[in-house]
Amino acid sequence: MMKNTFNAMLKNRPKGQKVNEIYLFRLMARYLNQTAIKCTFVKQIHAQYYVSYNSNILHGQSKRVELGDLQIFTYDRSKKELRICTLQAKYEKNIFRHHPSIVLNVFQWELLKDRPLVQAISKKYPVPSNILNFNFAYKSISAYGIFFLENAIGNVDFLYTIPEFLSSKRPLINLSRRRNKRTFQFNCPRKYGNGNEKHVSGNMNMFEKDLLQCKIGAPVIKKDDLKLIITLLKYMNVQVKKENDEQNAIDFILAEYKDISDGIVIDDTVDIGWPPAMVVVTDAVPAQ
């Protein structure tokens, strides 16, 4: 299972390697290359991926916030289904399991919880306005991924949860642009999801299972939405090609959606921005 191998890779990291949320996801992607059909990690290009939205906390005022740290794309080749989850990653360096609380940006939490239409701050960043609500039936269209210390010897575990199960310990009032953080508590639900998706994966091994069973994220069904997502993947693929990634999951997905992909022309000479992404191709055939 993932956790033991992941922690072994973490302990054997290169000397001087900075450990942050995105590095931990890169280790996760490296592990998944051994268990998924294909897994590709796309590095971040340029700065953070900022969007604006109308905040209910600010009574409808526009708020600028980072969309998320990571986009997770999963393609189930048995169902021929593409899913996407916009995820905010956190690394809690204190032992989290018995006192599950973490400091979050209130407005980013609101964005991922309410899932409104968004507008890209920069026109050259191809953010679909409905990236958080193209499929209202699935709450795992947006989520938090919290890496945390499991014990005193430094082993890391992982909690995946939709924003609804994180609640502020203090009222969400008197917030400003500079003072917009609160401590949030994780409220573990009795039910972790349903047959179509998982809302919570309580540890790294559970997350691996749920990811490979294609229960993370919302299916992209409508052709217009597929076209927007395939466009985003084609731009990401430009960077992947530069890195000579032999486990190119994006190539596989583009081939599966060839009728849509062939009709999309991108300008690969233009530098655009996107958040890091983890692209996983799996085969979620239920065990007999």
DSSP codes of every residue in the chain: -HHHHHHHHHHTPPTT----HHHHHHHHHHHHHHHSSEEEEEPPBSS--EEEEE-TTTTT-EEEEE--SEEEEEEETTTTEEEEEEEEEEEEEEE-TTS-EEEEEHHHHHHHHH----EESSTTS---TTTTTS-TT-GGGEEEEEEEE-STT--EEEEEE-GGGEEESS-S-S--SS--EEEEEE---S--B-SS-BSEE-SHHHHHHHHHTT-SSEE--SHHHHHHHHHHHHHHHHHHHHTT-SS-HHHHHHHHTHHHHTT----TTS---B--EEEEEE--PPP-
Question: For residue 288, what pLDDT is reported?
Answer: 38
Question: For residue 74, what pLDDT is reported?
Answer: 96
**Stretches in the chain below the pLDDT threshold 50:** 46, 287-288
Query: What are the tens digits of pLDDT across the range 187-245?
Result: 989 889 998 999 999 999 999 999 999 999 999 999 999 999 998 898 888 877 777 66
State pTM to two decimals. Answer: 0.91
Question: For residue 72, what pLDDT is reported?
Answer: 94
Question: For residue 46, what pLDDT is reported?
Answer: 46
Question: For residue 62, what pLDDT is reported?
Answer: 93
Question: For residue 39, what pLDDT is reported?
Answer: 85
